[in-house]
Chain A
Amino acid sequence: MADPRKYPEITINPESIRQAIDARMNARLKMWMRICAHCGLCADTCHFYVAKDRDPKMVPSYKAQKLKEFVKKKGQVDEAYLKEIYDIAYGDCTVCRRCTMFCPFGIDMATMVATLRGILTSQGMAPEGLKAAIKNYQETGNQMAVSEEDWVETLKWMEEELQEELPGAVIPIDKKGAKIMYTVNAREPKFYPQDIQLAAKVFHVVGEDWTFPSKVGWDDTNLAMFAGDLKTAGYIVQLIRDAAEELQVQRVVITE
């Protein structure tokens, strides 16, 4: 039977894999690969392990220590191996860190799995949705590639609708010195603009001093982080920070 799972296209470049590993190896990861006692205390703390009928392959340490195995191979891997790692890194772990709370050493297995994801992403091996989102962040500052005009227009439109119900209510844009800079999921302007209106309604009723940035830094999702792409993940956070500093706000509030 054909494998029903879909994989991104795989090209294997041992040298590039080696470099990706080297760039990510830090003292913590090296320590955690060394000291895991293989005691199994983390086993039943993982929801995958419990949900999949105590499947030993769902033991957190098993998944996390794949990093050690991967590193040892020094880039000498084949397609089947990369697929196995891909399935573990994306299919068997949500990178939630629950297991760490039960590990006597506090081994951060989620970070180890995230490192696996990062290495794969660096080789172009990431779920298509995440890859598209990362490109959007890099090009437009938000995951849905909402343009600046569309963003501002959506805010104006929502403000108009809101004023029909609540005369005097506003959606302040680029208000310097406001107390709060509000940020949203880019899906809101794209698909659910009413959510923005609802938040504005709450802010209006409680008399909050708030604002949105007009350019970038208003999307608070960070899908690059889920692909272990720390460079883009850092860039996204930096956009938010820069916007907050430019507007001289006291707080950044994120959507739910």
Chain B
Amino acid sequence: MTFSALVEGPLLWIAFLTFLIGSALRLLFFIALSTKKDKPVYRYFNFKWMMLSILRWLLPLNVDIKKNPVFTILGYIFHICLLSVPLFYSAHIALWQESRFGWSWWQMPDVWADWLTLILIAISIFFIIRRLVLAEVRIITTVSDYLLILVCALPFVTGYLNTHPDGSAYAWVTSALPLYGQYSTLIHILTGELMLILVPFTKLSHWVLFFVSRTVIGVEFGRRNYTV
């Protein structure tokens, strides 16, 4: 099997399955241990507090919007870009349609994908600079925090390069890395696979554990009459 067949075939499967099964296991591990060692969460469980706590923090309805409006709003935009472009970009959907699943769904105009990609890259750079500049963020920043910003941004950087082969950025990258031109699609797929594979093993697992943690604290604060 050629390397490209590996990346586009088995590795793609491995990436998606690691992402999905790994994330599900994170949830299962939590449930398995918590039923033994976190009994108050179950004893005081309350659906209303859970939903309030999740919705208030999933949507921009929380106190941080007032306290740190710029960072918080950029954080929301970052997440919207990160989720919407991979899911709704036309060429991705075309691949799903060609695949054995034959799935297709709503696609965003390509010019949106372009802009959302550039916005995500810009916010990623902002996040890195912010970590370097603000002492209160620098002290809690680890190497993996920087790497994970890169891991999330790389599929977007490569995606943008590959869809704009006439652009000056592409010319610049291929002159610096002559092999890039030859393997551009492969590298783009690899960066996406890397991100998916890392999700269950890093803080990126918050895409599921966010809901668990908000539920836990919603129940804890709700039963004490605090704001959930």
- Where the two chains meet, the residues of A that have a C-beta atom closer than 8 Å to any C-beta of B are 25-28, 30-32, 34-41, 43-45, 49, 54, 56-57, 59, 61-62, 65, 100-102, 104-108
Residue B33 at the chain A interface, CB threshold 8 Å: yes
Contact across chains for A105 and B37 when beta carbons are under 8 A apart: no
Pick the residue among B134, B142, B206 that contacts A40 (CB under 8 A): B134
Instruction: Collect the chain B residues with CB atoms within 8 Å of residue A25's CB.
Output: 37
Instruction: Collect the chain A residues with CB atoms within 8 Å of residue B205's CB.
Output: 34-35
Contact across chains for A108 and B203 when beta carbons are under 8 A apart: no
Residue B38 at the chain A interface, CB threshold 8 Å: yes
| Contact A40:B226 (CB < 8 A) given known A31-B212, A104-B62, A107-B213 | no
Instruction: Collect the chain A residues with CB atoms within 8 Å of residue B82's CB.
Output: none
Contact across chains for A32 and B213 when beta carbons are under 8 A apart: yes
Contact across chains for A108 and B220 when beta carbons are under 8 A apart: yes
Pick the interface stretch among B64-72, B83-91, B101-109: B64-72
Pick the residue among A34, A56, A105 that contacts B139 (CB under 8 A): A56
Q: CA–CA, A102 to B216, complex, Å?
A: 15
From 106 to 139 in chain B, residues with beta carbon under 8 angstroms from any chain A beta carbon are: 134-139
Residue B13 at the chain A interface, CB threshold 8 Å: no
| Contact A40:B72 (CB < 8 A) given known A106-B217, A108-B217 | no
- Where the two chains meet, the residues of B that have a C-beta atom closer than 8 Å to any C-beta of A are 29-34, 37-38, 41, 53, 57, 62-64, 67-68, 71-72, 75, 134-142, 145, 203, 205-206, 209-210, 212-214, 216-218, 220-221, 226-227
Q: Dominant SS at the B interface?
A: helix
A-B contact count (CB 8 A): 110
| Contact A34:B140 (CB < 8 A) given known A27-B37, A56-B135, A105-B214 | no
Q: CA–CA, A57 to B210, complex, Å?
A: 26
Contact across chains for B213 and A40 when beta carbons are under 8 A apart: no
| Contact A40:B140 (CB < 8 A) given known A106-B53, A106-B216 | yes
Contact across chains for A26 and B34 when beta carbons are under 8 A apart: yes
Q: CA–CA, A13 to B31, complex, Å?
A: 32
Contact across chains for A106 and B137 when beta carbons are under 8 A apart: no
Contact across chains for A26 and B38 when beta carbons are under 8 A apart: yes
Contact across chains for B140 and A38 when beta carbons are under 8 A apart: yes
| Contact A43:B137 (CB < 8 A) given known A101-B226, A106-B218 | yes
Instruction: Collect the chain A residues with CB atoms within 8 Å of residue B71's CB.
Output: 39, 41
Chain B nearest CB from A64 CB (Å) reads: 10
Contact across chains for A26 and B37 when beta carbons are under 8 A apart: yes
Instruction: Collect the chain B residues with CB atoms within 8 Å of residue A31's CB.
Output: 30, 209, 212-213, 216
Q: CA–CA, A28 to B218, complex, Å?
A: 13
